[in-house]
């Protein structure tokens, strides 16, 4: 699509959304908070359609299914999914009423079953409390701070964290290279705070007697070997107990919180999926075409760890 066409479409879409906003205010008499929620939820769909280069009036049920699958993929709660779908249906009903469309692509779009269980989400305050309770002076303390900060700031799987290599750290560029499921590699932006915690850990790491074949591993146990998944689970549980956290959490909770906070902050849904390395978008062919600078800007802009105090 040419630049002039993109601008024309953007202006057209803005007018369309303005009309829908007026419809909600005048015809539905929605409260301001409800109106803002509808607008925000619809914005997620618009971002998805724009990224996929799908004109809003050409949206199909299949497109909507892919969008909703993306919401599920990054762990959005079924109740939130149901609310978003409700807003989408309202929008397309408006398009039908206003003679923009003859058929409603959302008519057969179903809401998820509310009973679906997903992992807990931590607030930024709870994550800060978990990290801050760690005593740097204790053995492994700084390492554990660096691990939790990296889990949250980069949205890693625990397997990706414990297998992270020093040779895969590109701190000057602000990235780390991660090997995910199926040995697929991806570049992930890393926050300045996570970099600082890892560098502090390296001042402790140099005093370890590193075991053979583990020289390149970032995170080591006290015997100089790669730390285990179980160890990470255990110390997270201990810190949660120490601050009196009632939620049942695991290393995956940090990854889930990463995605949720980015989405709530306005990050693009597709960019989050790429960051997490999900199968639906992380095929080798697609990955080689990722605009890494754009992904880094998404994370820097929207992740709580990158916002200035």
pLDDT tens digits, 116-135: 455 678 999 999 999 999 99
Of the pLDDT bands very low, low, confident and very high (cuts 50, 70, 90), residue 4 is low
- Best CA proximity match to 205, nearest among 225, 190, 189, 186: 225
Active site residue 113: no
252 carries an active-site annotation: yes
Q: Show Cβ contacts of residue 271 under 8 Å, excluding neighbours closer than 6 positions.
A: 294, 295, 298
Does 135 map to a domain?
Answer: yes
Higher pLDDT, 292 or 66: 66
Pick the catalytic residue from 7, 28, 181, 248. Answer: 181
Mean pLDDT of the 289-298 span: 50
Same structural domain, 92 and 215: no
Domain shared by 39 and 136, yes or no: no
Which among 79, 97, 115 is the end of a domain? 97
Residues 16 and 51 in one domain: yes
User: pLDDT band for position 2 (50/70/90)?
Assistant: very low
Reply yes or no on whether 247 is catalytic: no
Q: Which of 89, 177, 278, 292 is catalytic?
A: 278
Mean of the per-residue pLDDT values of the chain: 83
Longest CA–CA span in the chain (Å) reads: 73
Residue 163's CATH number: 1.10.443.10
**Separation between Cα atoms, residue 63 and residue 52, nearest integer Å:** 9
Active site residue: 177, 193, 237, 252, which one?
A: 252
Residue 300 has pLDDT above 80, yes or no: no
Residue 40 resides in a domain:
yes
Of 56, 79, 97, the position where a domain reaches its end is: 97
Place of tokens 């956290």: 245
Whether residue 47 sits in one domain with residue 10: yes
Q: Report the pLDDT value the prediction gives residue 47, as an integer from 0 to 100.
A: 87
Asked if the structure places residue 48 within a domain, the reply is: yes
13: containing domain: 3-97
Which residue reads 């700084």 in tokens?
142
Q: Residue 104 domain-assigned?
A: no
Last residue of a domain, one of 97, 114, 147: 97
Instruction: State the catalytic residue, choosing from 44, 186, 255, 302.
Output: 255
SS3 content of the chain, % helix, strand, coil (to 5): 60, 5, 35
> Are 217 and 286 within one domain?
yes
Residues 76, 189 within the same domain: no
Q: Is the pTM of this model over 0.85?
A: no
d(CA 183, CA 188): 15
* Residue 89 belongs to domain with CATH number: 1.10.150
205 is catalytic: no
Concerning whether 278 is annotated as a catalytic residue, the answer is yes
> 234 pLDDT exceeds 60?
yes
If asked whether residues 249 and 284 sit together in one domain, one would say: yes
Name residue 169's beta-bridge partners: 176
66 is an active site residue: no
Q: Is residue 107 part of a domain?
A: no
What pLDDT score does 114 carry?
Answer: 57
**168 in the same domain as 93:** no
Q: How far apart are CA 96 and CA 107, in angstroms?
A: 11
Mark whether 93 and 172 lie in a shared domain: no
179 and 302 part of one domain:
yes
Q: How many structural domains are present in the chain?
A: 2
Q: Which residues contact 71 (CB under 8 A, 6 or more apart)?
A: 44, 80, 81, 84, 269
Segment 82-99 shows an average pLDDT of: 90
User: What's the pLDDT band for 194 if we cut at 50, 70, 90?
Assistant: very high
Strands 169-170 and 185-189: unpaired
- Min mean pLDDT across 2-11, 29-38, 213-222 is at 2-11
Of these residues, 77, 143, 157, 302, which one is catalytic?
A: 157
Same domain, 253 and 145: yes
Band the pLDDT of 264: cuts 50, 70, 90. confident
Instruction: Quickly state the pLDDT bin for 113 (edges 50, 70, 90).
Output: low
User: b/e map of 155-186 (b: 16 or more CB within 10 Å)?
Assistant: bbbbebbbbbeeebbeeeebbbebbbeeeeeb
Counting residues of the chain whose pLDDT is more than 90, the rounded percentage is: 42
Token pair for 93: 């009903």
Shared-domain flag, residues 184 and 265? yes
Residue 108 lies in a domain: no
Q: Is residue 196 part of a domain?
A: yes
163 falls within a domain: yes
């Amino acid at each position: 699509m040419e630049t002039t066409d993109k601008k024309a479409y953007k202006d057209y879409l803005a007018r369309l959304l303005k009309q829908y906003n007026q419809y909600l205010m005048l015809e539905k008499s929605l409260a301001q908070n409800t109106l803002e929620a509808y607008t925000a939820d619809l914005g997620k769909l618009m971002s998805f359609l724009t990224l996929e280069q799908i004109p809003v009036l050409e949206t199909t049920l299949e497109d909507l299914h892919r969008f909703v699958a993306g919401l599920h993929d990054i762990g959005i709660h079924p109740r939130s999914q149901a609310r978003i779908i409700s807003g989408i249906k309202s929008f397309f009903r408006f398009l039908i009423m206003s003679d923009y469309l003859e058929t409603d692509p959302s008519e057969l779009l179903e809401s998820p079953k509310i009973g679906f269980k997903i992992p807990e989400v931590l607030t930024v305050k709870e994550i800060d409390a978990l990290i801050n309770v760690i005593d740097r002076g204790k053995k492994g303390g700084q390492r554990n701070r660096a691990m939790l900060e990296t889990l949250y700031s980069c949205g890693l799987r625990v397997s990706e964290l414990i297998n992270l290599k020093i040779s895969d750290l590109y701190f000057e560029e602000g990235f780390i290279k991660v090997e995910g499921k199926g040995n697929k590699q991806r570049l992930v932006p890393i926050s300045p705070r996570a970099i600082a915690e890892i560098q502090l850990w390296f001042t402790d790491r140099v005093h370890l007697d590193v075991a053979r074949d583990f020289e390149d591993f970032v995170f080591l146990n006290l015997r100089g070997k790669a730390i285990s998944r179980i160890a990470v689970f255990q110390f997270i549980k201990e810190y949660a107990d120490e601050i009196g956290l009632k939620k049942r959490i695991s290393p995956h909770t940090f990854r889930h919180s990463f995605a949720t906070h980015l989405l709530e902050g306005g990050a693009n849904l597709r960019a989050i999926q790429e960051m997490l390395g999900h199968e639906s978008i992380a095929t080798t062919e697609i990955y080689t075409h990722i605009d890494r600078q754009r992904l880094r800007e998404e994370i820097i802009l929207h992740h709580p760890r990158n916002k200035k105090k």
